[in-house]
Amino acid sequence: MAPEIVLSREEIDEIITKVADELNAMYENKNTIPVLIGVLKGALPFMMDLIKKLKFDLVIDFIQVTSYSGTSSTGVIHLKKDITTDIKNRDVIIVEDIIDTGLTLNYLKQYIQLNYSPRDIKIVCFVDKKPLRKVDLKADVVGITMNQAKFLVGYGFDYNEIGRNIGYVFVPSKKQLEEWDKKLKEN
Ligand code: IMP
């Protein structure tokens, strides 16, 4: 059975252009150099495509947390890699691939605020997956909202680290997940 494609490459490009337009309108004529903090690893393709369309001066950095295992969130967040840029009193834009329960971004926003005291934190996410939200967290700029709790793979989204390199977003079949499980065991 063919995979259920949720976002084609063309649709992804349209989303990135829309998000970039919104950010350009927010920052283009401001005398500020925002720090874009990409949340590894999922936000990498989105962040790389997005920054090429941004027309204001910016700095990039990355932070890494983990919370997912297989196809669901564990709810326990571990900080794996911290930022290296001094963001005190600066404008920060957190760039995330997806908001699901909201726990990851809730944690990150508080962590960054408490530890580094930036002037402002905005949240940008590629996909806002609404149904399993556990905390009241809203992104400032959203690529696309999804009202179904589908597990996605591709364009940064992974199944146990596999699939991030696929150029479109899809819902993997049970058969696909079994094949990946088998391959993972053998590697
Ligand atoms: P949250 O903490 O539940 O909001 O989850 C955020 C993180 O869970 C994201 O950064 C992703 O790494 C992961 N995640 C959430 N939904 C999916 C999905 O559909 N596919 C792959 N990873 C996901």
CA atoms in the 13 A half-sphere facing the CB of 147: 0
Task: Indicate if the pLDDT at residue 147 is higher than 90.
Answer: yes
Nearest Cα residue to atom 2 of ligand 1: 104
Which residues carry out catalysis? 100
CA distance 176 to 105: 29
Could you read off the pLDDT of 46-86 as tens digits, one per residue?
Answer: 999 999 999 999 999 999 998 766 677 677 888 999 999 99
Write the single-letter amino acid at 41.
K
Mean pLDDT of 140-168: 96
Q: Whose CA is nearest to atom 12 of ligand 1?
A: 42
104 lines ligand 1 (CB under 6 A): yes
Q: Which ligand 1 atom sits nearest the alpha carbon of residue 134?
A: 3
Structure tokens at 14: 């349209």
pLDDT at 144: 98
Whole-prediction pTM value?
0.95
SS (H, E, C) the chain: CCCEEEECHHHHHHHHHHHHHHHHHHHCCCCCCCEEEEEECCCHHHHHHHHCCCCCCCEEEEEEEEEEECCEEEEEEEEEECCCCCCCCCEEEEEEEEECCCHHHHHHHHHHHHHHCCCEEEEEEEEEECCCCCCCCCCCEEEEEECCCCCCEECCECECCECCCCCCEEECCHHHHHHHHHHHHHC
Is 102 touching ligand 1 by the criterion CB < 6 Å? yes
Query: What is the distance between the alpha carbons of residues 83 and 86, in angstroms, rounded to a whole number?
Result: 8
Q: Are the CB atoms for 64 and 81 separated by under 8 Å?
A: yes
CATH architecture of 6-147: 3-Layer(aba) Sandwich (3.40)
Ligand 1 pocket, residue 152 CB under 6 Å: yes
Q: 73 CA to middle of ligand 1, Å?
A: 7
**Domain extent listing, the chain:** 6-147
Q: How far is the CA of 13 from the centre of ligand 1 (A)?
A: 21
- Rounded to whole angstroms, what are the CA distances from 11 to 18, 20, 112, 114, 126? 11, 14, 32, 37, 12
Q: Which amino acid is at 32?
A: T
Backbone angles phi and psi of 64, in degrees to 5: -130, 130
Ligand 1 geometric centre to CA of 152 (Å): 9
Report how far ligand 1's centroid is from the alpha carbon of 86 (Å).
27
Percent of all residues in the chain with a pLDDT value above 90, rounded to a whole number = 90
**pLDDT tens for residues 83-131?**
999 999 999 999 999 999 999 999 999 999 999 999 999 999 999 999 9
Which protein residue has the closest C-alpha to ligand 1 atom 20? 152
The pLDDT, as a whole number, for residue 68 is 65
Q: Indicate whether 1 pLDDT > 70.
A: no
- Contact 155 CB / ligand 1 (< 6 Å): no
